[in-house]
Chain A
Amino acid sequence: MTIPDINQLKQIALELRRLTLKIIFQAGSGHPGGSFSATDLMTALFFGGILNYDSSNPNDPKRDSFVLSKGHVTGIYYSVLAKAGYISESDLDSYRKINSPKFLSGHPHPKTPGIEIASGSLGQGLSVGHGIALGKKLDGYNSKVYVILGDGELHEGQIWEAAMSADKFKSNNLIAIVDYNKVAQDNITKDLKDLEPIEDKWRSFNWDVHRVDGHNMEAIINVLKLPLHPIKPRVIIADTIKGKGVSFMEGKTAWHGVAPSPEDYDKALKELV
């Protein structure tokens, strides 16, 4: 399979934003803001030739693993899984619905093909990802583990427990990506509890720190393609915009966890072209 080029990846990201908004609109609830800030990152991971996976063999022990630690953004996650072939697009009709055949719950669960672990309670995914990274190394595989963290999630103390552990065990196959959209549910992250100096924090935990514009597809691909650090786990601080792609959602706490009205849905789709 040929890997899509940058323009094709941008097109995929656009389609994924439209699909995400559609399923959140149909479900009547969900998290568009944080889905859209993570869309370009997840597009690059899954479709830019970064994550090594085979959706027809989701349990392949040699696979790279992906953990969505900010588990509430299933709008984009399930859209990506459908696009990647783990589930079908028609499965998405049961998003957030009772008796959902692929268990498309509001928050992720491993009953859905392609999902490694349940998430949705913030702060756990980096430890889980680290456990997977340790397991891959024990098995002698060169597999990598990518974990997407929310920025507000960095308030959770467990993130820093995991950061210390991954340093201790020299887990250089663990790559964390911080979706730094600067907006949490309650407030802008800076006012809720400021994360700065965010790079220094990770650096002082002995991580290999990189920074990228989380909506510049070429830059994202380039940073994700960097060879692994010989001993350090890697964190990529991705500067993103909550609600990216829909002008009236961008940077707004109000769009953290609500579905659009029919009018807003139409308005948004007109922008996502």
Chain B
Amino acid sequence: MKEGATRDAYGQALLEMGNDQRIVVLDAGVSDSSRSKKFGDKYPERFFNVGIAEADMVCTAAGLATTGKIAFATGFACFLLGRTMDQILVSVAYSNTNVKLVGTHTGLAVGEDGPTAQMIVDIAYMRAIPNMIVVQPADWEETVQATRALAEYEGPAYFRLGRPKIKGIFDSTYKFEIGKGRVVKKGSDLVIFATGIMVQESLLALEILAEEGINVSLVNISTLKPIDRDIIIEMASSHKFIITAEDHNCIGGLGDAVGEVLLDAQISKPFKRIAVKDRFAETGTGAELFEKYGLSANHISLAVKDSLK
């Protein structure tokens, strides 16, 4: 199982898909960090770095898409989405253009640059937009497969990536499918639904808990929209307690998405959400911020024990 940052896996996947002449990649002046540069170095004629101009990038991607291209518009999530909601609404989502918005450097995991660079509202933004799907991979393997799947998927998508290195979770027998969650660990009594880097964090929590003889279930929700209702209903029904875990604000993200499914299905069970508690964080390392703002494996294991007691 390969380890590494999801942004690195994305850069590698794009490079490997580069023979497909339909694929064009855009960046807004951060291609070295977003890893789109790898594609750009090999396929300069299909790489458009528009400089620090996210709004222009998103609409240029939409224009390219109208000519039959699969346009990956890449940037730091904070600026890629924060500066372009109107462009995304009109030129991408409403126009239903084949644009993949790829936001790297998401969540508190970004660390020291602080709240201007820690995108914690992007899932909420993008889930609220008609025609838009939202995918956040948990590790290298899933990122590579999801990049390919998004290229094949015809329509607007948001792909949420991160900066930190992630341990390998899935091997090459794993099959990513848009809209499908995956049981990562089977336990009893309690199920954790996690997304992105929080799958790794939850696995660490499961190790802590296993030492104390507690074995709970973990589900990876990599497509946040359309969310896998079946796996949520099935796992929520077969467990007594539910926890969601995301490196995102507690409003509009995975917790709300799972909660909506449970409400619709009239499943009422004790439910805790591990997420940023509707506040801006601060500077610090990703690990320090996860600890202080309640996202660490330690916090997850405490939430599990608190539920089970």
Chain A residues packing against B (C-beta within 8 Å): 61, 65, 67, 109-110, 116-121, 123-125, 127-136, 138-139, 157-158, 161-162, 164-165, 168-169
Contacts and interface: CB of A to CB of B under 8 A. Distances in A.
B67 A139 contact: yes
Contacts of B60: 127-128, 130-131, 134, 162, 165
A65 to B, nearest CB: 8
Contacts of A131: 59-67, 71
B125 interface: no
B56 to A, nearest CB: 4
Contacts of B270: none
B188 interface: no
Contacts of B56: 127, 130, 158, 161-162, 164-165
Contacts of A124: 55, 59, 86-87, 90-91
Give chain A's interface secondary structure class.
helix
A121 B90 contact: yes
B64 A134 contact: yes
Contacts, number: 115
A165 B51 contact: yes
Contacts of A158: 53, 55-56, 59, 87
30 contacts: A110-B66, A117-B66, A117-B95, A117-B97, A118-B91, A118-B94, A121-B89, A121-B90, A124-B86, A127-B59, A127-B60, A127-B62, A128-B66, A131-B62, A131-B66, A131-B71, A132-B63, A134-B60, A134-B64, A135-B63, A135-B64, A135-B68, A139-B68, A158-B56, A161-B53, A161-B56, A162-B56, A162-B59, A165-B48, A165-B53
Given A118-B94, A132-B66, A164 B53 contact: yes
B190 interface: no
Contact of B90 (A118, A130, A136): A118
Contact of A117 (B50, B51, B62): B62
Interface residues of B, number: 32
Nearest to B53: A161
B58 to A, nearest CB: 8
Contact of B67 (A125, A135, A169): A135
A132 B67 contact: yes
A121 B48 CA distance: 24
Given A128-B63, A128-B91, A158-B59, 16 more contacts: A65-B66, A110-B95, A117-B91, A118-B90, A124-B87, A127-B57, A127-B87, A129-B63, A130-B60, A131-B67, A132-B64, A132-B67, A138-B69, A161-B55, A164-B51, A164-B53
B46 interface: yes
B67 A168 contact: no
Contacts of B97: 117
B30 to A, nearest CB: 15
Contact of A136 (B57, B67, B71, B89): B67
B50 to A, nearest CB: 5
**Of listed A65, A132, A157, A169, residue having the most chain B CB within 10 A:** A132
A138 B94 CA distance: 25
Contacts of B264: none
A108 to B, nearest CB: 10
Interface-centre pick from A61, A125, A134 (highest chain B CB count, 10 A): A134
B216 interface: no
B254 interface: no
Contact of A161 (B46, B50, B64): B50
A118 B63 CA distance: 11
A265 to B, nearest CB: 31
B306 interface: no
A120 B86 CA distance: 11
A269 B59 CA distance: 39
Nearest to B84: A158
A271 to B, nearest CB: 35
Contact of B55 (A116, A125, A127): A127
A121 B62 CA distance: 15
B24 interface: yes
B45 interface: yes
A169 B69 CA distance: 17
A68 to B, nearest CB: 13
B54 to A, nearest CB: 9
Contacts of A65: 66
Contact of B69 (A109, A121, A135): A135
A110 B95 CA distance: 7
Nearest to B86: A121
A165 B58 CA distance: 12
A188 to B, nearest CB: 26
A146 to B, nearest CB: 13
Contacts of B91: 117-118, 124, 127-128
Contact of B62 (A128, A136, A138, A162): A128
Nearest to B87: A124
Given A116-B66, A117-B91, A121-B90, A138 B24 contact: yes
Nearest to B52: A161
A246 to B, nearest CB: 30
Interface in B136-179: none
